[in-house]
Structure 1
Amino acid sequence: MEELSHKRKVTIMMAIIAAMFFSAINQTIVSTAMPRIIAILGGMEYYTWVITIYMLTSTIATVLVGKLSDIYGRKPFILAGIIFFIIGAFLSGFSTDIYQLIIYRGIQGIGAGIIMASAFTAVGDLFSPRERGKWTGIMMAVFGFSSVLGPTLGGWLVDNMDWKWLFWIFLPLGVVAFVMILMLFPKAERKASEKIDYLGSLFLSLTITALLLGFSWAGTKYEWASSQILGLFGAALVCLVIFIFVQTKAKSPVLPLSLFRNDIVTLSNIIGFIMNAGMMGALIYLPFFVQGVEGISPTYSGYVTMPMSIAMVILSTVIGRLISKTGKYKRYAVMGLPIMVAGMLIMAFMNSVWMAVVAMIVFGIGLGVGMPVFSLTVQNAVKPSELGVATASSQLFRNLGGTIGIAVMGTIMQSALKRNMEDAAASGKGVDFSKLDPETAKELAAFQNPEMLLDQPKLEQLHQTLPADVQPVFTQMIDMLRDALSSSLTTVFLAGAALVVVATILVFFLREIPLRTSNKMPGEEAPEGGNKQDGKVKLVKAEPVK
């Protein structure tokens, strides 16, 4: 599609951006309101599963669609992704318990994975690596804008309307995106020589599923050394070995192992994995500080995260243009990741809403500077025929990192919270229920759960219904819960920062090659630059960019 006119390319990009925004806004609009939704539906112990299932299904969909879109083209998969996402969002609004919400969010995840894999690869089809820098920055800005609008709107909706509308309000945008893709996106011809790697797809999916379930349940539902968790990790290892063997024999492997002989692809994917593990694993718990520790409503909680998104929108757009102008990208990763670390360290020690805002600004600057780099590094290092599967591999490692990070941070959070509450009780800071009458003590003990902190209206209502002599005891219990939650979040943010530090160190070892001005690899035969002789086009070899 590189030969299309610039006007047609821009029109197609508008359709792609509409589809991406539909997926992104539906994700961010729920983020701030999720603690309240969990408080309404119940099941705080399954809080991470609502996110984990979304990441799990989107991860599997992303990697499978990468190779399939190389065979069949991007258009049918973007359309299918929008349909899956619409169905998942529609059903999520009808959830009556946490289990239904998890299932329906899984369906949404399938749609999101397909949309994102196809959209980022389509940009590679349309533009040369040098031009992709600008468009990657714009696409990052779309995520940033959805992060500005989504949390604020989500907080307002959950405070003023039924939470179901969080999932339904943008469904018309999905229909518009579907029509735009259907009308504008060119249809690609199937590569007849390519065959679908069914066996490889099966064992890759089984590997990912067993691995993520193991990390999600370890330390929460089961002990890390339990037979269930060891069995899942063992199953993941066996499936991985079989998958690798299948890939060595497959004529058209779903994830070619030859990709990982490329040091740029391998190191970029490792950095993306570690960075997302630290970043996503920690940031998912930011609403717990704002709403649970500081007692801010979901509406104002969205305002706290807004500066991060604004900084990311501005910086990613500017950095994307600079990358396209200079053809250099490594310097921005070297600058961006340390700034992200600084933001996360501020999160670890924040003790007010204003410190949270400062942390968000610093983190957003780092995110905007560093994040546009790693999709470009992978796409620039592979042949156009491998664009889909290479982009999918990049997103696979990022999603795996994010999902495992969320699961591990969830375990850290729960363990730290339990330990802090036990320490508070042992040190005498806890509530002495023996001084209350048995009936009141029993009633208050039932509410000695950090989940109470996430529903401020219910908390205030309960406080008002208690007898005057019991209210000070209730206030003491809430303060103890907030202190325990705050200390636990410090542990989570420090763990996340440590992982991003590791990713920062690895960036220095990333080999940089100039961004090409054509989708043709250096040395390939290319009609561009040829000259006509006797009515024929003389083919010349494309020179490497210097």
Structure 2
Amino acid sequence: MSATQAAQGADAAPQFSRRTFLTVFCALVMAMFLAALDQTIVATALPTIAGDLGGVNHLSWVVTSYMLAATAATPLWGKLGDLYGRKRMFLTVIAIFLVGSALSGLSANIGQLIAFRAFQGLGAGGLMAIAMAIIAEMVPPRERGRWQGYAQSCFVIAGVVGPLIGGAFVDQLSWHWIFYINLPIGFVAALLVVSVLRLPFRPNKHRLDYLGSALLSGAIVAVLLISVWAGDQYSWGSVEIIGLIAAAVVLLGLFVLQERRVDEPVVPLTLFKDSTILVATVGLFLTAAALFVATVYTPLFLQVVNGATATESGLMLVPMMIATVVTLTISGKVVSATGRYKFFPVSGLVVMAAGLFLLSTLDTGSATWLTSVYLVIFGLGFGLVSQVLIVAVQNAVDMRQLGVATAAANFFRSLGGAMGVTIFGAVLNSGLRHWIPREVDGAVLQEKGAQGVLRDPETIRGLPDAVREGVGTALANSLQSVYLLAMVIALAGAVVALFLKELPLRSAPGPQKK
């Protein structure tokens, strides 16, 4: 079987041999594996990293800095791929990602790690967007459900092995190695792309919207800082928060004005006049926000409340990832066979919400296996959502906007994840401030301080039984609010998905007829 790269107008569609196509496809999947691995491999290691370099209260920033940079960079990389060629940009983002990985592994303090993770995120923002755009360019929309299902199945494999590798490195070697593991994989992926991928590209004169990129990045930073600081470090009525709100509103307004007047906008606002794209991107935002509760905060629950090691908490996430792979693969095949896709995001988000509600019922007396069962339910739902919404976006645009549309979809998915991590982190910290004084003996708190008893899982396991149980109860109670908030977000996503317009999937490349 051969695959066809979509062309616009009268351009001929080049043919790929099966061997060439599969080689390119594997290289793209390896690159997506990198981006996925660096989110999931840190999940089980985060409590140890945060404890080693600065405390549990910094846990969300190790994730947020990465996702903030990835989110802000995603639309720009998608546009650069359209303007300068996706192969060139693909190799660029791999190089940035690998340099960031090496520097993150060399970090000696929390400030360095957060900064290097942000640099790493600049590359990660392009990996998924450009890789998925190349796949979409090589196959027609009717076949994308199947091939992107395969791609994201391999992507989710990183979710299976990531927590295990991260936990094993923390327990047996050092957390620094969770970043070094990216280097050989990235080198092989880059080598395959250089040697095999051939995509025709006709350079043309253009101007890149640097001002629009800067305005969008500034607005995102302001919004995320509000979600982290408001009600925590600063009150909602403080000068700092009011100033950030004003800055976010002004920057977003200026961004909209800028995008309307330039010829080459970073995010063409006309895309969102299409209801399919608007609904799908909002759905991706809400889905990603709910996802990171399970992948970031459940390992913390397992290690602190259940006393699991990093490796054991990684094993507890495996059933969820396997469930995700199963439903993701099945949904991709069904979409390719039938051309129907609306059912999957609606039902998937409802199932995710059910899993999150069940997770909110966990407490210090809950069996560890029960956590895995609830995670499986969550994973079954998640596998039905993300890939299908990406296909819906790509099917709604012509090939000239494929890269920027894919990047816009991934931008909202990344933004949802970043917002989710920061908001849930703020909710968790607020809950801990409420519950720790009520569950932990006052004399111990006075001696060690809240950060002393929450430093990292190893420290917590070494506390006296009564203190350890109090810390576990406080964390479990705090996480209940986090899971319930995520459940509400997932249900909101299901309501949004009800408005998804189900366009016929094209069986050949070209602009969609609406």
TM-score under structure 2 length normalisation: 0.93
Q: Does 1:294 align with 2:306?
A: yes
- Relative distance call for 1:376 and 1:477 in structure 2 (3 A) is same
Q: Which moved more, 1:159-168 or 1:215-224?
A: 215-224
Residues in 2 aligned to 1:442 and 1:216: alpha-carbon distance in whole angstroms: 25
Q: Bigger shift: 83-92 or 35-44?
A: 35-44
Deviations 1:256-301 (A, max 9, x none): 1111110111111111112222332454211121001111000100
Instruction: Give how far 1:370 is off.
Output: 2.3
Task: Tell me by how many angstroms 1:483 deviates.
Answer: 0.7
Distance in 1 (alpha carbons) for counterparts of 2:408 and 2:114: 25
Alignment match, 2:495: 505
Secondary structure, in 3 states, of the residue corresponding to 1:195?
A: coil
Q: 1:100 aligns with which of 109, 112, 116?
A: 112
1:457-536 alignment runs, 5 A limit: 458-460=459-461, 462-463=462-463, 474-522=464-512
- Are 1:420 and 2:460 matched, yes or no? no
CA distance in 1, matches of 2:279, 2:75: 18
What is the one-letter code of the residue matched to 1:304?
M
1:30-59 Cα deviation digits (max 9, x unpaired): 211111111111232221111111011001
Moved more, 121-130 or 25-34: 25-34
Distance, in Å, in 2 between the alignment partners of 1:248 and 1:37 is 44
Are 1:78 and 2:93 matched, yes or no?
A: no
2:281·2:412 contact (CA, 8 Å) conserved in 1? yes
Q: Give the 3 Å change call, closer, same or farther, for CA 150–442 of structure 1 in structure 2.
A: closer
1:447 deviation in Å? 6.7
Q: 1:364 to 1:340 in 2, by over 3 A?
A: same
Secondary structure of the structure 1 residue equivalent to 2:384: helix
* Alpha-carbon distance in 2 for matches of 1:190, 1:293: 57
2:441 to 431, 447, 450: 431
Give the Cα separation in 1 of the matches to 2:55 and 2:134. 40
C-alpha change, 1:10 and 1:66, in structure 2 (3 Å) is same
Q: Deviations over 1:368-417 (max 9, x none)?
A: 12222110111111111111111111111111111112111111111111
Query: How far apart in 1 are the matches of 2:399 and 2:26?
Result: 22
Task: State the distance in 2 between where 1:228 and 1:185 align.
Answer: 49
Mapped to 1, the partners of 2:122 and 2:27 lie a distance apart of 20
Counterpart residue number, 2:9: none
Structure 1 126/101 Cα, relative in aligned 2: closer, same or farther at 3 Å?
same
Aligned equivalents of 1:185 and 1:158: distance in 2?
A: 37
Provide the rounded CA distance (Å) in 1 between the counterparts of 2:320 and 2:264. 42
Give the gaps of 5 or more residues in structure 2: 7-12
Amino acid of the structure 2 residue aligned with 1:455:
P
* Offset at residue 191 of structure 1 (A): 4.2
User: 2: CA distance between counterparts of 1:414 and 1:31?
Assistant: 18
Whole-Å Cα distance in 1 between the matches of residues 460 and 421 of structure 2? Answer: 27
Structure 1 contact 75–185 (Cα < 8 Å) conserved: yes
Residue in 1 that maps onto 2:10:
none
Q: How does 1:219-298 map to 2 (within 5 A)?
A: 219-281=231-293, 283-298=295-310
Distance 1:432 1:56 in 2: 38
The change in CA–CA distance for 1:198 and 1:448 in structure 2 (over 3 A counts) is closer
Q: Is the 8 A contact 1:128 1:518 kept in 2?
A: yes
Secondary structure of 1:30's aligned partner? coil
What are the superposed Cα offsets for residues 160-208 of structure 1, whole Å, 9 maximum, x if unpaired?
A: 1122112113411111111111111224424414321222222222222
Percent identical pairs in the alignment equals: 36
Q: CA deviation at 1:449?
A: 4.5
Q: 1:202 aligns with which of 214, 218, 242?
A: 214
- Is 2:412 the partner of 1:409? no
For 1:90-169, list aligned pairs within 5 A: 90-169=102-181
CA 1:139–1:478 in 2, change beyond 3 Å: closer, same or farther?
A: same
The reply on whether 1:337 has 2:349 as its aligned counterpart is: yes
Matched residues in 2 for 1:253 and 1:261: separation?
15
> Aligned in 2, Cα 1:405/1:442: closer, same or farther, shift over 3 Å?
closer
* Higher deviation after alignment, 125-134 or 363-372: 363-372
Query: Among 440, 449, 454, which residue is 1:451 paired with?
Result: 454
| Alpha carbons 1:43, 1:98 under 8 Å: kept | no
Tell me, yes or no, if the aligned pair for 2:29 and 2:155 is still in contact at 8 Å.
no
Q: Larger Rg: 1 or 2?
A: 1
CA deviation after TM superposition for structure 1 residue 448, in Å: 6.9
- Give the superposition deviation at 1:337: 1.4
SS of 2:42's equivalent in the other structure is helix
* Aligned AA (1:505): V
Q: CA 1:27–1:404 in structure 2 vs 1: closer, same or farther (change >3 Å)? A: closer
The CA deviation at 1:12 is 1.4
Pairs within 5 Å for 1:362-377? 362-377=377-392
Out of 63, 83, 86, the residue aligned to residue 75 of structure 2 is 63
Shift of 1:209: 2.1
385-394 vs 217-226, which moves further: 217-226
AA aligned to 1:335 is S
Deviations 1:227-264 (A, max 9, x none): 11221221121111111111121112111111111011
CA deviation profile, 1:413-437 (whole Å, cap 9, x unmatched): 111111122444xxxxx4263xxxx
What does the per-residue CA deviation read over 1:126-148, in whole Å, with 9 as the maximum and x for residues that have no partner? Answer: 11111100111112212221111
Instruction: Give TM-score, length-normalised by structure 1.
Output: 0.87
The letter of the residue matching 2:454 is: E
What is the aligned counterpart of 1:211 among 216, 219, 223? 223
Separation in 1, partners of 2:203, 2:245: 37
- What is residue 361 of structure 1 aligned with on the other side? 376
Counterpart for residue 29 of structure 1: 41
Count of aligned pairs: 499
Cα pair distance change 1:279/1:23, threshold 3 Å:
closer
Distance change (3 Å), C-alpha of 1:235 and 1:168: same
Q: State the partner residue of 1:5.
A: 16
Question: Given residue 16 of structure 2, which amino acid in structure 1 is its aligned partner?
Answer: S
State whether residues 77 and 407 of structure 2, in contact with CA within 8 Å, keep that contact through their aligned partners in structure 1.
yes
Aligned counterpart, 2:407: 392
Q: Which amino acid aligns with 1:482?
A: G
C-alpha distance in structure 2 between counterparts of 1:488 and 1:449, whole Å: 18
Task: Check 1:400–1:442 CA distance in 2 against 1; reply closer, same or farther (3 A cut).
Answer: closer
Residues 249 and 421 (structure 1), Cα distance of their counterparts in 2 relative to 1, 3 Å cut: same
State the 1:509 CA deviation: 1.4
Aligned 8 A contact 1:282 1:406 in 2: no
Q: Once superposed, what is the RMSD of the aligned Cα atoms?
A: 1.9
Q: Hey, what's the Cα distance between the residues in 2 that align with 1:362 and 1:326?
A: 25
CA-CA distance at 1:459 after TM superposition: 4.3
